[in-house]
C-alpha cells in the first residue's frame, strides 16, 4: 500500500529494450506541495514506531544476557582440539605436526612437540597454546589440519579479567571431546566420524588382509618346506 | 494581587481543580493560623507556588530525558534504556549522579566567570517564563497583565546565555556553535512573536489567562473556539510551532549543537553539572515554549468537548503538553539537520511573510465576525501568497526533474 | 562546480591572510568521518577556503605483512581492508592470484561468487544510506533501519562462511565450502523482501525537502576532472560516465546476467545517493537470475592447493567493480610461497583525492555531506 506510489515513477521501459531506458526516480514533479516529502518521512517513522510494539521484525533487539541469539552451527570463533573417547590426553587426535602453526596468518599458535627420553617424537603435543588476543578467527588452521584434530568452536563468551595468562589457552582448555564436536556441528562431525570410521575399517581390513596373507604365506612356506623334506627323505630312502 | 483573590474563591479546597494549589493553600492557612503578618503569608504563598512549578517541571525534565530516549528508540526499532529500574525509570537518576560526579573542567583560556554564569543564565529565564503560563483554571503561578510580553522578554535572555557560553569557552568549536546559535535564534524570534500578534489582536489582552479564557466557547456545540481552528490561527500555529523548534534548538534546527559536525557547539567545553544545567535549560525552555504554544493556540487548559469538563483543567493542559512534546520528538527522530543558510533563508523569506500575513487575516476575521464567512474570505488571503512562496521555493529546490538513465551497453 | 585546475600551481596565493581564517580540525575522533580520518579545514566564516585531509591513523601494514605471509594467509587480511563489504575484497584478491597462477574456477563457484558479491553490494549501499542520513543529523533513524536489514544478510553470511563480516571465504580456484542446505532458499526469500524495504527507505529519503536542499548541487565535479582523478564507482556513474567494470571488462560470469547500469546527470551528492539505490535494485535483479541459474557441481577446483602454493614467476592485476569503485590487486610473484610485491588499489583512497575540490567554496556542513557521499572506509584508505 503506497499512497505516494505515483511519485516513484519506475516508469522505465521494458528491460533490455534498447538504449537509455529512463527511470525518473527520486525526482519530485515540477511543482510539489512543500512539506509533503517531510510528511511522508513522518509517516514512515510513525509506522515503524507503532509496528515496533507488535511486529517481531521491527523490534529485533535481543536482550543479552537474559536472551541469547541462536547462532548458526557454522559460526566459527576460536579453535579447539578434538579428542576421541574420554581421555583428553590419550585420545587427542593432534600429532603436533605444526602445520596449523605454520599456516596461521597472525601466528597465534605455539606448539611444542612431546618427545621421550631418547628424543623420539611421541606424536603428541607437550604444549599447545593459542593466544585469543592474536587469533583472528579465520579458520585456516581448521582447514589445513590433516588429522581432523583442530576445529573452530562457536563459543564467544571467553572474556576474562586476567589480561595475559587468561588469554592464552593451553591444552587443558582447548581439548574438547568428539561428542562436543558432534553436538556443535552435527553434519560436519558425523561426516568426519564416518570418514574416520571408514578409514579405520579400511586400515583394519588391510591389516587383517596382510596378516591373513602373511599367515597363508607362512603356511605355504611350511607346506613347501615339508614337501621338500618328504621328497628329500623319499629320495634318501630309495637310494 | 489576583493570587490572593483566587485563594478566597468559592471552590472547595479538595476539588481536583485545586489539587496543584494544595501545598500553597496549606502553607498559607498554616501561617495565618500562626498569626503571621500578611506580607509573610503572601511571600510564603508565592514561594510555595514557585517551588511547585519548579518541582513539577524538574520532574518532568527528568522524565522527558528518559521518554525522549525511549521514544526515539522505538522510532528506530530498538528498546531504549531499560536496565536502570523497571522500564528504565531510574535512568534519569543514574544520569544525574553521573553528571554530578564528573570532574568540572574549565579550559585555561576560558573566562571562568562567564563560563560559570552561562548555564545559570540559561536555566533561570526558562523557569521565570514557566511562571506566567496558566496551567489550570485556578492555577497560574503569577498572573501578569503583561504576561506574554514578559514571556518573550525573558525568553530572549537564553540567547544571550548561549552566546556567553560559546564566547567564554575560549575555543573554536564553541565559538562557531555560538555564532550559529545566535543568528538562528534571532532570526526565529521574529516569526515567533509576529505570529503571536494575531492572538493578541483578537483577544485584546496580553494576559495569558485572559487569552485562554477567550478560547473557552464552543461553536456548534462541539467545535472548541481554539485559535488553531481559525484560518489565521492555523497559519500562526504552524509558523509558531516551527519557530519554537528552532528556538529550542531541536532537530531539524539543532545546528548550534550539530553533533555530527562541531561536536556539541556551545556546550563543547562544559562537563559535569554545568552540562546538566545546559540540558535542563534547554528542556525547560522547550516546556515553556510548548506551554505558550498551547496557551496561545490550543486553548490552554480548555477541554476539547463541552462534556469533558469534569476532567481537571490542569490535566488537559498536561495532556496537550504531552502531545506537543511527542510531536517534537517525532520530528526529531525523522528529519536531518537543516544547513545554516537554508535555515536563515527559510526564516526570513518564508516564515516572516506568512507570520506577517496573519495580522491582517486576524483583523479581517474579527471584522467579518468569524465562522464560515470568515474562512471563505481569509483563505485566499493566506493561500495565494503561500502558493507564490512555494513556487519560488520549488524553483530553487527542484529546478529540473532529475532523470536517471540506464546505460544499456 | 570546479573545473579550473590552475589553483594547484604553486604561485596561486590564498585569498585571505592566514590569521583571518578559522582553522578547524575535523577529526580524527569525530562522529561523521567514517573512521579515523582527519580534515584540516580553513574556514572564512562558514565557507571552506582550504581542506587538507590527513589519514594514516588506521595504517596496519597490510601490504608488507602480505610480503612475508603466504598467499592464503593474506586472504583473511583482505576482509579487513574494506570491512563493510568484505567478500568483494576476497574475490578481487582470489581473482588476482588465479590470474597469476592460471587457475580455473568451476561454474558453481562462479555463481556462488556472484551471489555473494551482489549481496555484499546490497549491504554496502544499505549501510551507506544509513550513514549519510546519520551524518546529516537524522539522529540515526535511517541508520537503524538500514542496519536492521543489513543484519539479515549478515546472518546469511554467518550461515555460509562462519562469520558475519570477516568471511575469508574465497579460495584460489573457487570457494571454501559449499552452500549449506536451504541457504539458497533463504537468500531467495530475503531478496523478495528487499524491495519493500527499499521502498520504505525511498519514502523516507526521496521527497524529503531537507535532504534535497542539503544534497542538491553540492559537491559536483565535471566528468573530465573525475576521469582524470581516477575516480571510479558510483561517484563516477552519478556524473554520467558509463564505466562499470562488470560491463567494460566482465569478470566471472557477469556477461550471463541481464542488468543495467544507472547513470546520473550532475554528479552531486543527491545523484550519488540515488544511483546507489538504483544499483541496489539492479543487484536484486542479478541475484534473482543467479539463484535461478545456480548449477550443481564442485565448489572449488579439484586440484586447488591450500598449502605450499607457489605460483609461477610473473605479475597479475585483477580488478572488480566493488561497491565503492574499482578494487584492484596487483601481485608480483618471484616463484616462492610469498608474493614479492602485493599492492591494493583502494577505491576509497583514490576517490578521496578530489575531496578538496569538491568542498571549496561550500559550507562546513556540506563537507560532512560530501565526505559521506564519497562513501569511504578507512580500512581501505589506510590499509
Note whether residue A211 is domain-resident: no
Which of A24-28, B39-43, B396-400, C50-54 has the least mean pLDDT?
A24-28
Residues of A in contact with C72 (CB under 8 A): 103, 140
B283-301 pLDDT tens trace: 999 999 999 999 999 988 8
Of the listed ranges A96-100, A135-139, B35-39, C249-253, the one predicted with least confidence: B35-39
Query: 10 Å Cβ neighbour count for A31?
Result: 12
Among A12, A34, A60, select the one facing B394 at the smallest CB separation.
A34
State the best of B241, B336, B383, B408 to mutate against chain A, taking most chain A CBs within 10 Å.
Answer: B408
Asked if C217 reaches chain A (Cβ–Cβ under 8 Å), the answer is no
Asked if B166 and B266 count as a contact pair (C-beta separation under 8 A), the reply is yes
Neighbours of B135 (CB within 10 A): 26
Question: Is residue A194 a part of any domain in this protein?
Answer: no
Residue B378 pLDDT grade (very low, low, confident, very high; cuts 50, 70, 90): confident
Closest of B250, B347, B336, B234 to residue B289, by C-alpha = B250
Domain ranges of chain B: 1-101, 108-391
Surface of C (247-276) touching B: CB under 8 A: 247, 260-265, 270-271, 274-275
pLDDT band at B66 (very low <50, low <70, confident <90, very high): very high
Main-chain phi, psi angles of C346, to 5 degrees: -85, 120
Residue B7's pLDDT band (cuts 50, 70, 90): very low
CA distance A21 to chain C (A): 9
Residue C132 contacts A, CB cutoff 8 Å = no
Residue to test with chain B: of A34, A35, A37, most B Cβ within 10 A: A34
Contacts of B335 in chain C (CB under 8 A): 138, 208, 210
- Report CA-CA distances (Å) from A200 to A82, A188, A211, A213, B161: 17, 18, 16, 19, 84
For B330-353, b where at least 16 C-beta lie within 10 A, e where not — what string? bbbbbbbbbbbebbbbbbeebbbb
Averaged pLDDT, C268-279:
90
Same domain, yes or no: A89 and A181: yes
Q: Do A20 and B75 touch (CB under 8 A)?
A: no
- Residue A8: per-residue pLDDT: 38
Tell me whether residue A219 is in a domain. no
Residue of chain C minimizing CA distance to A70: C155
Closest chain A residue by Cα to residue B398: A30
For residue B226, the SS3 value is coil
The model's pLDDT over C168-214, given as tens digits with 9 standing for 90+, comes to 999 999 999 899 988 999 999 999 999 898 988 888 877 777 888 88
Contacts of A7 in chain C (CB under 8 A): 206-207
Do B334 and A44 count as a contact with CB atoms less than 8 A apart?
yes
Confidence of residue C5 (pLDDT cuts 50, 70, 90): low
Higher pLDDT: B405 or B154? It is B154
Q: Residue A35's closest chain C neighbor by CA?
A: C209
Residues A91 and A55 in one domain: no
8 Å CB contact between C113 and C170: yes
C chain contacts of residue A46, beta-carbon cutoff 8 Å: none
Host domain of residue A138: 79-185
The total of structural domains in chain A comes to 2
pLDDT at B252 over 50: yes
- Same domain, yes or no: A134 and A179: yes
Query: In this structure, what CATH number is given to the domain that contains residue A132?
Result: 3.30.70.3270
Do A100 and A23 share a structural domain? no
C162: nearest CB among A48, A136, A139: A139
**Chain A: touching chains (3 or more CB pairs < 8 Å):** B, C
**Is A123 inside any structural domain?**
yes
Confidence of residue B264 (pLDDT cuts 50, 70, 90): low
A143 lies in some domain: yes
Between B306 and C254, the higher pLDDT residue: C254
What are residue C314's DSSP bridge partners? C333
Name which of C246, C231, C237, C239 is nearest C319 in CA terms.
C246
Of chain A, the end-to-end C-alpha distance in Å amounts to 117
- Return per-residue pLDDT of chain A as tens, 239 residues: 233 333 333 333 333 333 344 444 545 455 556 667 788 888 888 888 888 888 887 888 888 888 888 888 889 999 999 998 888 888 888 998 999 999 999 999 999 998 888 888 888 889 999 999 999 999 999 999 999 899 999 888 888 898 888 889 888 888 998 899 999 888 888 888 899 889 889 988 888 888 888 888 888 888 888 887 777 666 555 54
Cβ of C260 and B261 within 8 Å?
A: no
d(CA C368, CA B261): 7
List CB contacts (< 8 A) between A38 and chain B: 334-335
Q: Is residue A232 part of a domain?
A: no
Grid coordinates representing A60 are 529485533
Amino acid B266: pLDDT:
75
Whole-angstrom distance, CA of residue B152 vs CA of residue B267: 24
What is the bridge-based pairing of β-strands C22-26 and A78-83? Answer: unpaired
Query: Does one domain contain both A54 and A86?
Result: no
Give a yes or no: residue A141 inside a domain: yes
In a domain, residue A205? The reply is no
Amino acid at each position: 500500500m503506497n499512497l505516494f506510489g505515483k511519485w516513484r515513477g519506475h516508469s522505465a521501459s521494458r528491460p533490455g529494450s534498447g538504449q537509455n531506458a529512463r527511470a525518473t526516480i527520486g525526482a519530485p514533479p515540477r511543482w510539489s506541495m512543500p512539506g509533503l516529502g517531510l510528511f511522508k518521512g513522518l509517516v514512515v517513522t510513525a509506522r515503524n514506531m507503532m509496528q515496533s510494539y507488535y511486529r517481531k521484525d521491527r523490534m529485533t533487539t535481543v536482550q543479552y544476557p537474559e536472551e541469547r541469539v541462536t547462532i548458526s552451527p557454522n559460526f566459527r570463533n576460536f579453535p579447539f582440539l578434538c579428542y576421541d573417547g574420554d581421555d583428553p590426553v590419550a585420545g587427542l587426535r593432534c600429532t603436533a605436526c605444526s602445520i596449523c602453526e605454520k599456516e596461521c596468518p597472525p601466528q597465534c599458535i605455539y606448539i611444542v612437540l612431546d618427545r621421550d627420553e631418547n628424543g623420539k617424537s611421541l606424536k603428541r603435543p607437550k604444549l599447545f597454546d593459542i593466544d585469543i588476543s592474536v587469533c583472528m578467527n579465520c579458520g585456516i588452521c581448521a582447514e589445513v589440519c590433516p588429522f581432523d584434530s583442530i576445529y573452530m568452536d562457536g563459543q564467544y563468551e571467553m572474556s576474562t579479567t586476567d589480561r595475559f595468562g587468561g588469554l592464552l589457552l593451553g591444552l587443558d582448555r582447548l581439548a574438547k571431546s568428539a561428542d562436543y564436536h558432534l553436538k556443535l556441528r552435527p553434519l560436519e562431525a558425523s561426516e568426519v566420524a564416518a570418514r574416520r570410521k571408514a578409514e579405520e575399517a579400511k586400515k583394519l581390513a588391510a591389516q587383517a588382509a596382510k596378516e591373513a596373507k602373511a599367515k597363508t604365506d607362512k603356511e605355504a612356506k611350511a607346506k613347501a618346506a615339508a614337501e621338500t623334506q618328504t621328497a628329500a627323505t623319499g629320495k634318501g630312502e630309495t637310494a | 494581587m489576583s493570587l490572593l483573590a483566587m485563594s478566597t474563591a468559592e471552590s472547595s479546597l479538595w476539588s481536583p481543580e485545586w489539587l496543584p494549589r494544595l501545598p500553597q493553600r496549606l502553607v498559607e492557612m498554616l501561617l495565618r493560623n500562626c498569626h503571621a503578618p500578611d506580607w509573610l503569608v503572601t511571600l510564603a504563598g508565592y514561594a510555595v507556588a514557585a517551588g511547585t512549578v519548579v518541582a513539577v517541571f524538574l520532574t518532568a525534565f527528568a522524565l522527558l530525558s528518559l521518554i525522549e530516549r525511549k521514544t526515539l528508540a522505538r522510532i528506530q526499532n530498538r528498546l531504549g534504556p531499560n536496565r536502570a529500574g523497571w522500564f528504565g525509570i531510574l535512568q534519569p537518576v543514574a544520569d544525574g549522579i553521573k553528571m554530578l560526579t564528573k570532574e568540572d573542567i574549565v579550559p585555561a583560556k576560558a573566562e571562568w566567570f562567564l563560563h560559570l554564569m552561562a548555564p545559570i543564565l540559561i536555566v533561570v529565564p526558562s523557569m521565570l517564563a514557566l511562571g506566567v503560563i496558566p496551567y489550570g483554571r485556578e492555577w497560574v503561578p503569577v498572573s501578569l497583565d503583561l504576561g506574554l510580553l514578559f514571556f518573550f522578554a525573558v525568553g530572549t535572555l537564553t540567547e544571550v546565555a548561549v552566546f556567553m557560553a560559546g564566547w567564554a569557552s575560549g575555543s573554536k568549536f564553541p565559538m562557531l556553535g555560538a555564532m550559529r546559535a545566535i543568528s538562528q535564534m534571532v532570526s526565529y524570534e521574529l516569526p515567533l512573536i509576529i505570529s503571536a500578534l494575531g492572538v493578541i489582536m483578537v483577544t485584546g489582552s496580553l494576559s495569558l489567562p485572559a487569552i485562554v479564557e477567550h478560547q473557552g466557547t464552543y461553536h456548534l456545540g462541539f467545535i472548541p473556539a481554539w485559535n488553531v481552528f481559525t484560518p489565521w490561527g492555523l497559519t500562526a500555529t504552524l509558523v509558531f510551532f516551527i519557530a519554537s523548534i528552532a528556538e529550542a534548538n531541536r532537530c531539524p534546527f539543532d545546528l548550534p549543537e550539530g553533533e555530527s559536525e562541531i561536536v556539541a557547539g556551545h556546550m563543547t567545553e562544559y562537563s559535569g553539572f554545568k552540562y546538566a544545567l545546559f540540558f535542563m535549560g534547554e528542556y525547560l525552555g522547550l516546556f515553556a515554549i510548548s506551554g505558550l504554544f498551547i496557551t496561545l493556540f490550543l486553548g490552554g487548559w480548555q477541554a476539547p468537548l463541552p462534556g469533558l469538563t469534569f476532567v481537571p483543567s490542569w490535566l488537559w493542559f498536561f495532556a496537550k503538553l504531552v502531545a506537543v512534546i511527542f510531536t517534537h520528538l517525532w520530528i526529531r527522530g525523522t528529519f536531518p539537520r537543516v544547513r545554516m543558510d537554508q535555515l536563515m533563508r527559510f526564516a526570513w523569506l518564508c516564515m516572516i511573510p506568512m507570520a506577517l500575513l496573519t495580522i491582517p487575516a486576524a483583523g479581517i476575521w474579527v471584522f467579518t465576525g468569524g465562522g464560515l464567512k470568515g474562512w471563505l474570505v481569509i483563505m485566499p488571503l493566506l493561500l495565494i501568497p503561500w502558493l507564490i512562496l512555494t513556487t519560488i521555493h520549488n524553483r530553487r529546490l527542484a529546478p529540473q526533474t532529475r532523470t536517471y538513465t540506464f546505460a544499456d551497453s | 562546480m570546479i573545473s579550473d585546475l590552475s589553483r594547484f600551481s604553486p604561485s596561486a596565493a590564498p585569498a585571505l591572510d592566514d590569521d583571518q581564517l578559522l582553522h578547524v580540525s575535523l577529526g580524527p575522533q569525530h562522529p561523521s568521518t567514517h573512521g579515523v580520518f582527519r580534515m584540516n579545514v580553513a574556514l572564512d566564516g562558514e565557507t571552506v577556503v582550504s581542506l587538507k585531509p590527513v589519514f594514516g591513523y588506521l595504517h596496519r601494514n597490510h601490504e608488507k605483512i602480505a610480503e612475508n605471509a603466504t598467499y592464503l594467509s593474506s586472504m583473511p587480511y583482505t576482509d579487513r581492508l574494506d570491512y563493510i563489504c568484505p567478500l568483494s575484497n576476497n574475490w578481487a584478491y582470489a581473482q588476482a592470484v588465479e590470474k597469476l597462477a592460471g587457475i580455473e574456477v568451476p561454474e558453481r563457484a562462479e555463481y556462488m561468487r556472484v551471489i555473494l558479491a551482489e549481496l555484499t553490494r546490497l549491504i554496502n549501499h544499505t549501510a551507506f544510506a544509513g550513514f549519510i542520513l546519520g551524518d546529516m543529523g537524522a539522529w540515526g533513524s535511517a541508520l537503524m533501519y538500514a542496519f536492521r536489514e543489513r543484519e539479515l544478510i549478515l546472518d546469511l553470511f554467518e550461515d555460509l562462511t562462519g562469520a558475519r563480516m570477516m568471511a575469508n571465504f574465497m579460495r584460489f580456484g573457487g570457494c571454501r565450502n559449499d552452500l549449506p542446505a536451504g541457504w539458497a532458499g533463504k537468500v531467495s526469500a530475503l531478496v523478495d523482501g528487499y524491495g519493500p524495504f527499499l521502498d520504505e527507505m525511498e519514502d523516507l529519503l526521496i521527497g524529503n525537502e531537507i535532504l534535497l536542499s542539503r544534497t542538491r548541487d553540492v559537491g559536483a565535479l565535471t566528468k573530465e576532472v573525475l576521469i582524470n582523478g581516477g575516480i571510479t564507482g558510483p561517484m563516477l556513474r552519478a556524473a554520467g560516465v558509463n564505466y562499470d567494470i562488470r560491463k567494460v571488462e566482465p569478470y566471472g560470469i557477469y556477461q550471463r546476467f541481464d542488468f543495467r547500469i544507472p547513470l546520473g546527470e550532475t554528479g552531486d551528492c543527491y545523484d550519488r545517493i540515488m544511483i546507489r539505490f538504483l544499483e541496489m535494485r539492479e543487484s536484486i535483479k542479478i541475484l534473482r537470475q543467479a539463484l535461478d541459474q545456480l548449477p550443481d557441481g564442485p565448489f572449488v577446483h579439484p586440484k586447488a592447493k591450500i598449502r605450499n602454493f607457489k605460483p609461477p614467476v610473473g605479475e597479475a592485476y585483477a580488478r572488480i567493480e566493488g561497491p565503492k569503485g574499482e578494487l584492484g590487486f596487483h601481485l608480483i610473484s618471484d616463484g616462492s610461497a610469498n608474493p614479492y610485491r602485493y599492492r591494493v588499489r583502494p577505491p576509497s583512497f583514490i576517490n578521496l583525492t578530489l575531496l578538496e575540490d569538491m568542498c571549496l567554496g561550500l559550507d562546513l556542513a556540506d563537507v560532512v555531506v560530501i565526505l559521506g557521499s564519497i562513501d569511504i572506509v578507512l580500512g581501505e584508505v589506510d590499509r
